[in-house]
Chain A
């Protein structure tokens, strides 16, 4: 047997971590909403897609400068999510969780149609003003994609920022209180609906950023929404309500995917990358349903 190629392994590992952090960013939007409103948002991938399409369309087709296109997309996501919270989700407060899930699934379908309807179905490039020549590190010749690096860095900044927000700031504590009990929070003088809106707004901003980063990697069209499906293995592995979990879950998914693509695909002819994260997810559900960092339900006996 030939020698194990450490350079190849390291390259898969490192780029897996970077891609994983970019998954974390998408999953963060999902967790922000679940943490504070208890709603499971199946439309997070579509948020990312629509945000990406807006940037792509306004930059590539209408010739706006990139910073303006991105601000436009962020502004749109904020307004859209505030409107969404007010019109669709607020009347659902106190309804069974399945009703909210169905509403977000419907919303996902709507957005998947609305994207091409308003902006056309072609795939657009989204070019960030960075050099995309790979960065080569060390004598093992590890190739890194600069967009991966940028995406991972942005993800880390956002994740740390939100981590600080939830643990240390008063608003963050209030938000966790809202997640704990809506009724009691109300009785403590917390304007619960305002915090719901805030959670959706934060998820919208995160989605816009995700749309830019993933869009620059894959190009923007409706296929971008498929990224949203990766959210589920990430949050199930890490725990539905944990920001640390999102980081760790994202990294695990990214690395496993990359290793599968590197080592398993040549053996079986490809495709393992697409399902290995879900195999992990199912295993996790069997053995540790709250995920690695999720909060178990505390019950006093």
Chain B
């Protein structure tokens, strides 16, 4: 189980991005964090995977624990060895390497024997990548790149995969395919997933538990099915108002309600 205990993240010693954020990621489940642009979702993931330092950010308060062990002071490559791996927003495959080499780079921490096994597993889940394994990754389609990015992360045999907006910029059909595979990986391989999404409907459909993040803090959380029914979530994240009408910005009421969250 991964625990974020009231963490605070500061960039450049002054910019406070996360203001006391607590998230629990239970083993074998899909947990999702919803939120608008700039809410601090990506920063949360980077804090977990130890990638704040190159961007001159740091966890200044609180702690991140993996099965009771504190990991927020670890280097990024040690966190991968602990079994947490991040899939970046916008895919970020190694464009100059072939798809196969991308997987080899992803399995960097593995022995050759395990590497072979993992490759077979990844190619099994993503037959499309298997077909195009010798193509330079920069020339793959967006959907294929996203699959490759997820497959590459799986190479390290992770316990927990952090997924940052896997739906970004992809066609709805491809998104559905990718989310189907994520859900399958979770069920068949027991991979724990922390999913960050702007597309709330999609995320809540496959997640077990959801958090809503605004302005660097968690403002609400609950089982995914309950969140999906929540009036505020419906209105702000799913775009459906209470009476099923189209939302109007003339309606002042929802601003007031939003204020209540921010207190």
Say how far A174's CB is from chain B's closest CB, in angstroms. 5
Query: Does A1 have its Cβ within 8 Å of any Cβ on chain B?
Result: no
Q: Is the CB of A177 within 8 A of B54?
A: no
Closest partner residue, chain A, to B136 (CB atom): A298
Residues of A contacting B102 in the complex (Cβ-Cβ under 8 angstroms): 177
Chain A 166-206 residues near chain B, CB threshold 8 A: 170, 173-174, 176-177, 179-192
Q: Is the CB of B97 within 8 A of A188?
A: no
Say how far A200's CB is from chain B's closest CB, in angstroms. 19
Known A-B contacts A170-B108, A298-B138, A298-B139; A189 and B94 likewise in contact (beta carbons under 8 Å): no
Query: Does B85 have its Cβ within 8 Å of any Cβ on chain A?
Result: yes
Q: Is the CB of B108 within 8 A of A176?
A: no
Q: Is the CB of A173 within 8 A of B104?
A: yes
Residue of A173, A177, A187, A188 with most partner-chain B CB within 10 A: A187
Query: Does B80 have its Cβ within 8 Å of any Cβ on chain A?
Result: yes
Q: Is the CB of A177 within 8 A of B77?
A: no
Could you tell me the distance between the alpha carbons of A135 and B47 in the complex, rounded to whole angstroms? 65
Q: Is the CB of B54 within 8 A of A94?
A: yes
Say how far B50's CB is from chain A's closest CB, in angstroms. 8
Q: Is the CB of B96 within 8 A of A184?
A: no
Could you tell me the distance between the alpha carbons of A45 and B244 in the complex, rounded to whole angstroms? 72
Could you tell me the distance between the alpha carbons of A93 and B54 in the complex, rounded to whole angstroms? 8
Q: Is the CB of B109 within 8 A of A176?
A: no
Query: Does B28 have its Cβ within 8 Å of any Cβ on chain A?
Result: no
Residues of A contacting B139 in the complex (Cβ-Cβ under 8 angstroms): 298
Q: Is the CB of A182 within 8 A of B152?
A: no
Known A-B contacts A191-B77, A298-B95; A184 and B108 likewise in contact (beta carbons under 8 Å): no
Q: How many residues of B contact A (CB 8 A)?
A: 34
Closest partner residue, chain B, to A169 (CB atom): B104
Residue of A189, A190, A295, A298 with most partner-chain B CB within 10 A: A189
Residues of A contacting B97 in the complex (Cβ-Cβ under 8 angstroms): 173, 176-177, 180
Q: Is the CB of B105 within 8 A of A190?
A: yes
Closest partner residue, chain A, to B105 (CB atom): A177
Q: How many residues of A contact B (CB 8 A)?
A: 24
Query: Does B156 have its Cβ within 8 Å of any Cβ on chain A?
Result: yes
Q: Is the CB of B101 within 8 A of A189?
A: no
Q: Out of B104, B109, B142, name the residue touching A189 (CB < 8 Å).
A: B109
Q: Is the CB of B142 within 8 A of A300?
A: yes
Query: Does B81 have its Cβ within 8 Å of any Cβ on chain A?
Result: yes
Closest partner residue, chain A, to B85 (CB atom): A187
Q: Is the CB of B86 within 8 A of A187?
A: yes
Could you tell me the distance between the alpha carbons of A173 and B96 in the complex, rounded to whole angstroms? 11
Residues of B contacting A174 in the complex (Cβ-Cβ under 8 angstroms): 104-105, 108
Query: Does B99 have its Cβ within 8 Å of any Cβ on chain A?
Result: no
Say how far B83's CB is from chain A's closest CB, in angstroms. 10
Q: Is the CB of A183 within 8 A of B54?
A: yes
Known A-B contacts A173-B101, A184-B92, A298-B139; A189 and B51 likewise in contact (beta carbons under 8 Å): no
Residues of A contacting B81 in the complex (Cβ-Cβ under 8 angstroms): 189
Could you tell me the distance between the alpha carbons of A192 and B86 in the complex, rounded to whole angstroms? 16
Q: Is the CB of A186 within 8 A of B77?
A: yes
Could you tell me the distance between the alpha carbons of A298 and B93 in the complex, rounded to whole angstroms? 12
Residues of A contacting B156 in the complex (Cβ-Cβ under 8 angstroms): 188-189
- Quick one: CB contact mask for B132-167 with A, threshold 8 Å, 1 for yes? 000010110010000000001101100000000000
Chain B 143-196 residues near chain A, CB threshold 8 A: 152-153, 155-156
Query: Does B228 have its Cβ within 8 Å of any Cβ on chain A?
Result: no
Q: Is the CB of A187 within 8 A of B49?
A: yes
Q: Is the CB of A189 within 8 A of B92?
A: no
Q: List 9 A-B contacts (CB under 8 A).
A: A94-B54, A174-B105, A176-B97, A176-B105, A177-B101, A183-B54, A184-B92, A187-B76, A298-B95
Binding site for A on B (CB under 8 A): 49-51, 54, 75-77, 80-81, 85-86, 88, 92, 94-97, 101-102, 104-106, 108-109, 112, 115, 136, 138-139, 142, 152-153, 155-156
Which 8 residue pairs of A and B lie closest in terms of their CB atoms, listed nearest first?
A: A189-B80, A298-B138, A177-B105, A180-B94, A186-B76, A189-B109, A191-B77, A173-B104
